[in-house]
Chains A and B, each alone.
Chain A
Amino acid sequence: MEKFSTHTGVGVPLRQSNVDTDQIIPAVYLKRITRTGFEDALFAAWRKDPAFILNQEPFSAGSVLVAGPDFGTGSSREHAVWALKDYGFKAVLSSRFADIFRGNSGKQGLLAAEVAQDDIELIWKVLENAPGTEVTVDLGSKTVMCGNVVAPFEIDDYTRWRLLEGLDDIGLTLQHEEDITAYEATRPAFKPKTLPARLS
């Protein structure tokens, strides 16, 4: 995973709450079996509408999505994060993220920055009045800057550390493999096993 410290790019105002993962990437795209190449799938239904924000210049080249509250609700599909990343987004700002989406983002190096709704409104205004304005997201200082708006954002310390260091999850855990083996030795015998299969 690449290290993330700071990013500056065109901000995209998405004035909408409850953007669920079915909107971020509709189910039909989940049939793919690869990990990349989901850029065409991002907001696929909405992108059919020429008025949709990502169909407008200069927003189509955006890399910081500024969304309403409750972003990423619904299905746990990680494809939502892949699609955002493949399209070119590096960060999403919202006043509230769904837990699973937030977790998935952290693991994939997409920054989910929690920004107060009042500040989101201010950023929306800047981006709408001056389309193409860049947004800077600085993970070190946990601040976001856009035009004359400077706002703090929240992210849990652990995810922040991992993003800054670019650390992969599994490798981190396997550093503690002895603990896992030790725990396994203490599991009660009545816990079920799937193998060998018992059938009704």
Chain B
Amino acid sequence: MAKTLAEKVWDAHVVRKGDGEGANAQPDLLYIDLHLVHEVTSPQAFEGLRLAGRPLRRPDLTIATEDHNTPTLDIDKPIADLTSRTQIQTLRNNCKEFGVRLHSLGDAEQGIVHVVGPQLGLTQPGMTVVCGDSHTSTHGAFGALAMGIGTSEVEHVMATQTLSLKPFKTMAINVEGTLRPGVSAKDIILAVIAKIGTGGGQGYVLEYRGSAIRALSMEARMTICNMSIEAGARAGLVAPDQTTYDYMYGRPHAPQGAEWDAAVEYWNTLRSDDEATFDVEVDLDADTLEPFVTWGTNPGQGVSLSAKVPSPEDFGDENAKAAAERALQYMGLEAGTPMKEIRVDTVFLGSCTNSRMEDLRAAADIIRGRTKDPNIRMLVVPGSARVRLEAEAEGLDKVFKDFGAEWRFAGCSMCLGMNPDQLEVGERCASTSNRNFEGRQGKGGRTHLVSPVVAAATAVRGTLSSPSDLDPAPESAAVRSSAA
């Protein structure tokens, strides 16, 4: 029978089919190939194992890193915040006790869990990947079935290396065409979310397809899959292709020699069959896409950057209308204001959505040779210690510092403000992260989600801006290509 990619990966991991049929079917028991662990959602899971006297079944399929709470300054000093410090120390103790590999603050492989897995070559096509973090969908970029799980599921995976799951429905997101300059993967996914809504993907696995997706790099595909959860879907994926293999080849944990060949042979089977049907198909035109930005307090409340702040009256649905009213009030915005006239105070370049080399390069290309708006504070937080090192080797740190941005150590940072990197009440931020919920980046903070190049252009002009709004920079592109 013809199958979609997600169904193929699912079927390859069934340890035990659930009893019963149709609506009464019990969940299938699926094997988990890789379990990523971090300090926030693991302590209670480890505690559960200990209380029940259960071992962690497969430490060799488990890896931990410190990211959510870690400071991005003075990382060699003890963490000032006591609870953060306790949480990190607890992770260290637990990993030691249960034999789990951990990359701690200060280690070259430490970083945001979703940056670390792919970077080490641990994320591979056709795998099942889980983590106690909803943005695990990021790993779907490799054609893996990757999803966020809650803490009791974390404990379940630790104890059994399996997860009980009900089959998903499938949704194809077809993105055809060619992106215009200044338009990026982030704009695709923000446009998808605005189109299908924050609940639109609920119960589905999304598969991103079409010429525009095929043309994207791995890092760009990660940006898209990362925000599948913002569309309500637990997982999103892209079929692996040569781009995927080129990215993986030679990474520390990628297969080697004959195993690489065997793996590629298998990976080549990982695509939706031509005759396979999706439960739902959604089309998006890449040719006409513009840079996107959110105006409200959920990721579906987004518009083209060249548009205006919408009015609650624009929404037919009563709930959407009320939500828009509340969002405008929280965001301190007037309906009808052109998005590009909105002044921001802070620009955050980071998070598992947009903190990889390409993101940093794209932003650096915009700001190189330009001056920062004096009223803007800009924070650049690489996704991992390794990204930071690579960026420094390319001299990107210098570009950011010369521009007047702060160059920080790796971690989640202002994406969720669990560490000291937070917005103040009323402060407005153009952020490359993935959530613009009330208070997400700090109590009372106001978030506009944007792409790295929009973030960079905004830092130059002080108002939400696209790269095309900038005056031509002195030979910025030329400098980069001669340096590279």
Contact = CB atoms under 8 A, between A and B. Distances in A.
B133 A17 contact: no
Contacts of A172: 164
A184 B61 CA distance: 12
B24 A22 contact: no
Contacts of B203: 99
A150 interface: no
Contacts of B254: 192
A170 B159 contact: yes
A87 to B, nearest CB: 18
Given A70-B198, A173-B29, A22 B438 contact: yes
A130 interface: no
Interface stretch (B1-9, B41-49, B368-376, B393-401): B41-49
A158 B28 CA distance: 11
A103 B84 contact: no
A189 interface: yes
Given A27-B418, A35-B44, A176 B150 contact: no
Nearest to A177: B160
Nearest to A117: B319
Contacts of A26: 439
Interface string A104-127: 100110000000000000000000
Nearest to B300: A18
Contacts of A77: 40-41, 150-151
A107 B60 contact: no
B16 interface: yes
A51 interface: no
A170 B109 CA distance: 32
B232 interface: yes
B48 to A, nearest CB: 8
Contacts of A34: 43-44, 47
A18 B323 contact: yes
Nearest to A189: B259
A33 B152 contact: no
Given A23-B437, A190-B259, A173 B164 contact: yes
Given A33-B87, A183-B15, A200-B386, A28 B418 contact: yes
Contact of A103 (B23, B121, B153, B263): B153
A57 interface: no
Interface residues of A, number: 61
Contacts of B386: 200
A191 B90 CA distance: 30
B122 A194 contact: yes
B255 A190 contact: yes
Interface string A87-102: 0000000001011100
Interface in A3-58: 17-18, 20, 22-23, 26-28, 30-35, 45
Contacts of A76: 41, 132-134, 148-150
B418 A99 contact: no
Contacts of B68: 30
A26 B422 CA distance: 13
The list of the 4 closest CB pairs from A to B, nearest first, reads A31-B83, A33-B43, A78-B150, A198-B252
26 contacts: A20-B437, A22-B438, A27-B416, A31-B40, A31-B418, A32-B87, A73-B198, A74-B435, A78-B151, A98-B202, A99-B203, A100-B149, A103-B150, A104-B150, A104-B152, A170-B155, A173-B29, A174-B160, A180-B160, A183-B15, A187-B31, A189-B259, A191-B127, A193-B61, A194-B61, A199-B109
Given A34-B47, A198-B120, 14 more contacts: A22-B440, A31-B81, A33-B47, A35-B44, A75-B134, A76-B132, A98-B199, A107-B150, A174-B159, A176-B29, A187-B33, A191-B33, A194-B59, A199-B252
